[in-house]
Amino acid sequence: MPLRLQSFRPVGWVVRRTMDAHRAIIISILLITFMPGCANRDLQFSYDRSLWQWEARTQISASPFSTATVKIQIVGDEKPLRPDQLALVQRVIAWLPELMPQITKQVAEYDEDLKDPKILREQLTEPSISLFEPEEQPSRSWSFTIERPSHGSAFGYHLEFVDKDFKEIWAGD
């Protein structure tokens, strides 16, 4: 009895979907590995159960803040990080030198006390990159936060982005 290809359609669909998922993972890994301009491809994430987030640290060159160390936070369950989340982190790190003038400009416009670069450098600490939308796939939303301890222990400026596009700034704990 000859085999009819139509009888195998469901199996073929599953194979195609699985291959598409594998192809997306491979592309994400290649982007992470070979993306030009990434400051640190060897980020070591650890999970902080008390804060429900993955954390890593990297360095930024020519930081306008009191430190060049940037904390990276991916908020969510203790599930393995997805390739699209890691790829977004690497893109953000690569974009930071280009975005830093816009970040400092937005902060200075939001709080006129910080227009002086010396005051901005002295008063803003603990820069961080945060991904808060664990269900968004692929990940594109992120925020850049800088703490200002002189206004309270957890006070900071939060600049929200989608990819490289600035969306809004707000301040608070």
Distance of CA 18 to the CA centre of its chain: 27
Task: Taking each helix axis as running N to C, give the angle between helix 9-34 and helix 83-110, from 0 to 180 degrees, rounded to the nearest 10.
Answer: 50
Greater model confidence, 33 or 75: 75
Confidence of residue 137 (pLDDT cuts 50, 70, 90): confident
The per-residue pLDDT for range 12-70, each reduced to its tens digit, is 444 454 555 455 455 444 444 444 434 445 799 999 999 899 999 999 888 999 999 99
Q: What confidence score (pLDDT) does residue 136 get?
A: 74
Q: Is the pLDDT of residue 126 over 90?
A: yes
pTM of the model: 0.73
